Amino acid sequence: MSADPCPCGRPLDYAACCGRWHAGAPAPDAETLMRSRYTAYVRGLDDYVRATWAPETCPPTIDPDPPGLRWLGLDVKRHRMIDADHATVEFVARSKLGGRAHRLHELSRFERRDGRWLYVDGDLA
Ligand SMILES: [Zn+2]
């Protein structure tokens, strides 16, 4: 039993999982970074979302979730290393808004710069 299960889907408490990266430690790989960004969306940690977004693709403002939106879970389908500093992560994030279920299926690109993984961009699947 976990007192504070991490929203990202790994069977750990938040503090032992994404909480470590939110506190400033660099996420060790692109999948872990992607999971920590999902958790940041769930918890409304916009500063973390921005800090882990490549500056050239990060939008000037991050739209807040629509009122009533609930994130239900994350499934990571595939984590692929392209080279030491480039990777892709394919995931499905599920949410619910106004009684309707929604699936976000994306293939995201990540790049490591100065030892930190960043989200660059993605294609909806
Ligand atoms: Zn987590």
The model's confidence at residue 1, banded by pLDDT at 50, 70 and 90, is low
Taking the centre of ligand 1 as the mean of its atom positions, its distance from the CA of residue 5, in whole angstroms, is 8
Taking the centre of ligand 1 as the mean of its atom positions, its distance from the CA of residue 14, in whole angstroms, is 6
Residue 55 to residues 5, 10, 42, 92, 95: CA-CA distances in angstroms? 31, 28, 22, 24, 27
Q: Tell me if 1 is assigned to some domain.
A: no
Taking the centre of ligand 1 as the mean of its atom positions, its distance from the CA of residue 36, in whole angstroms, is 6
| pTM for the whole structure | 0.95
Q: pLDDT digit string (tens) for 15-60?
A: 999 999 999 999 999 999 999 999 999 999 999 999 999 999 999 9
Taking the centre of ligand 1 as the mean of its atom positions, its distance from the CA of residue 43, in whole angstroms, is 11
Q: Tell me if 65 is assigned to some domain.
A: yes
The closest alpha carbon to 101, from 70, 74, 59, belongs to: 70
Q: Which domain holds residue 49?
A: 14-124
Taking the centre of ligand 1 as the mean of its atom positions, its distance from the CA of residue 27, in whole angstroms, is 11
pLDDT for position 2:
67
Q: Tell me if 2 is assigned to some domain.
A: no
* Cα–Cα distance measured from residue 111 to residue 43, given in angstroms and rounded to the nearest whole number: 24
Q: Tell me if 9 is assigned to some domain.
A: no
The model's confidence at residue 94, banded by pLDDT at 50, 70 and 90, is very high
The model's confidence at residue 3, banded by pLDDT at 50, 70 and 90, is confident
CATH (domain of 77): 3.10.450.50
Q: Tell me if 90 is assigned to some domain.
A: yes
- Sign of dihedral through CA atoms 99, 97, 93, 125? positive
The closest alpha carbon to 69, from 41, 98, 40, 104, belongs to: 98
* Cα–Cα distance measured from residue 41 to residue 95, given in angstroms and rounded to the nearest whole number: 11
The label of the residue with tokens 């992607």 reads: 34
Q: What average pLDDT is seen over the chain? A: 95
* Cα–Cα distance measured from residue 22 to residue 45, given in angstroms and rounded to the nearest whole number: 9
Number of domains into which the chain is organized: 1
Neighbours of ion ligand 1 (CB under 5 A): 6, 8, 10, 17-18
Q: Tell me if 5 is assigned to some domain.
A: no
The closest alpha carbon to 123, from 107, 110, 105, 103, belongs to: 107
* Cα–Cα distance measured from residue 36 to residue 93, given in angstroms and rounded to the nearest whole number: 13
Taking the centre of ligand 1 as the mean of its atom positions, its distance from the CA of residue 9, in whole angstroms, is 6
Q: Tell me if 45 is assigned to some domain.
A: yes
